[in-house]
Structure 1
Amino acid sequence: MNKHLIAFGSALLITASLPTFADSRVELTVTGKITPSACTPALSGNGVVDFGKISAKDLKPDRHTNLENRAVQLIVTCEASTRFAIKPRDNRSGSSSIPGNISYGLGMINGNEKLGRYFLNFINPVSDIPLTALYSANNGATWGEHLDGDAAIPGQLFAFGSRGDDWAWAPLPLQSVTVDITLNTAIAPTNSLTLTDEVEKDGSATLEMIYL
């Protein structure tokens, strides 16, 4: 499995000689693959989802306040048909206002207060062939169907494909695909926040392309 922009292959020999011993050495081999085609991902709106200003008085004191659902489009274009996956990473890891590892954080305010959380979901993949959104929780060893209501968990792999002859889900080589990424966002209960001053929503995630 090769990461986008990290593809190489080489081998080297490291030799260490001791003063009183003959030809004492160890061998280190470095391997990899050079993919014949590259893929370029792009997000609509430059990947920015702006909720604007929200009045603190409109937020619920004792439970999360859900904001309007938003979506951005991910467009992946490859030089040739290529099998790839998307690996989301939460750049604000540890700041989600709910426990567990299935959501993304909106950043910390006042040093230690978790402002909120959001869920990502990959839906409606469109290409020149019928596709189903897929996920892998074991680094691509096996794949399952990623349903419209499922959360795209940080660190898992997400791809687009179909069932094979063995009825197992698998990513397909694609030259281009467009997919909607939906965001379900909520602000933490205000009884856990200090909102005497204006604060910034600071969610950030990276979508890493992985060549399969």
Structure 2
Amino acid sequence: MKSPVALLSSALLLAMSSSVFAASSVDLAVKGLITPSACAPSLSGDVDYGKISARDLNIDSLTWLERKTVQLSVNCDAATLFAIHPVDNRAGSAAYGDAFGLGVINGTQKLGAYRLVFSRPVAETPSTLITMHKDGNQWFRLFDDDEVAPNDRVALGSRIDGSWAPHPIKDAIVDVTLLTSIGPARDLTLISEVAIDGSATFEVQYL
């Protein structure tokens, strides 16, 4: 017959072994939500600055181009919680700051950059434009002159209990204005024609 001390030691060893085995695995939860509503974004057109003479570019500073505005429409099957997520398809080519790029010329030279300004939201529900920064978790009001950086999110919402939050929208139209500039000419080799090659995707993210 085993002594109480031996039985206690065996129980402790068994508990320790079980703890070790339990810590050697972890569960993966796969979650999500299928929504019956679908939203389709569309733009009123592309932005074309035409031909710009290299002689008209500033040598030592940015050359700001004419502001251009397009309309972004989002049409949903039913009122839906969503945000617009602008993605820079020329990531890494912006000539300055947290902006959208205009592509690279001559292999390594960053041609310029542009930023986006969202304004004048129109929807079936009175709405205010709000934004969430790409690394944030809180919504803020988006004012008319506030610039939106790549991977930020923009939504139509309202202020409830002191906090801004998106609300369901079926159909919305928003003005998107481009603030575009070409880098200092001293940093660019412009002995032949080069293309302004900006590209961004506006994704609808369901919230």
Name the TM tier (shorter chain): 0.7 to 0.9
47, 50, 53: which one aligns with 2:51: 53
2:180 maps to what in 1?
Answer: 185
Whether 1:158 and 2:159 are equivalent positions in the alignment is no
Q: TM-score, normalised by structure 2?
A: 0.84
TM-aligned CA deviation for residue 156 of structure 1: 1.4
Post-superposition, which runs of at least 4 consecutive aligned residues in structure 1 deviate over 6 A?
Answer: none
- Tell me, in whole angstroms, the C-alpha distance in 1 between the residues paired with 2:184 and 2:28: 54
Q: Which has the larger radius of gyration?
A: 2
- Tell me, in whole angstroms, the C-alpha distance in 2 between the residues paired with 1:30 and 1:150: 37
1:78-107 alpha-carbon deviations (Å, 9 max, x no partner): 000001001111111111111x32x11100
Structure 2 unaligned residues grouped into runs of 5+: 1-24
1:108-166 alpha-carbon deviations (Å, 9 max, x no partner): 000010101111011111012221110012677321001111111111111011111x1
Instruction: State the number of aligned residues.
Output: 184
2:162 maps to what in 1?
Answer: 167
Identity of aligned residues (%): 51
Q: TM-score, normalised by structure 1?
A: 0.82
| CA 30–51 in structure 1, closer or farther in 2 if over 3 Å, else same | same
2:118 maps to what in 1?
Answer: 122
Q: How does 1:29-68 map to 2 (within 5 A)?
A: 29-45=29-45, 48-68=46-66
181, 197, 203: which one aligns with 1:202: 197
SS of residue paired to 1:57 = helix
Structure 1 unaligned residues grouped into runs of 5+: 1-24
1:15 maps to what in 2?
Answer: none
82, 85, 100: which one aligns with 1:84: 82
- Tell me, in whole angstroms, the C-alpha distance in 1 between the residues paired with 2:136 and 2:102: 28
- Tell me, in whole angstroms, the C-alpha distance in 1 between the residues paired with 2:27 and 2:60: 61
Please state which structure has a larger fraction of its residues in helix. 2
For 1:74, the aligned partner's letter is: L
- Tell me, in whole angstroms, the C-alpha distance in 2 between the residues paired with 1:54 and 1:66: 12
CA contact (8 A) 2:134 2:151 kept: no
- Tell me, in whole angstroms, the C-alpha distance in 1 between the residues paired with 2:137 and 2:105: 39
- Tell me, in whole angstroms, the C-alpha distance in 1 between the residues paired with 2:178 and 2:145: 11
- Tell me, in whole angstroms, the C-alpha distance in 2 between the residues paired with 1:139 and 1:117: 21
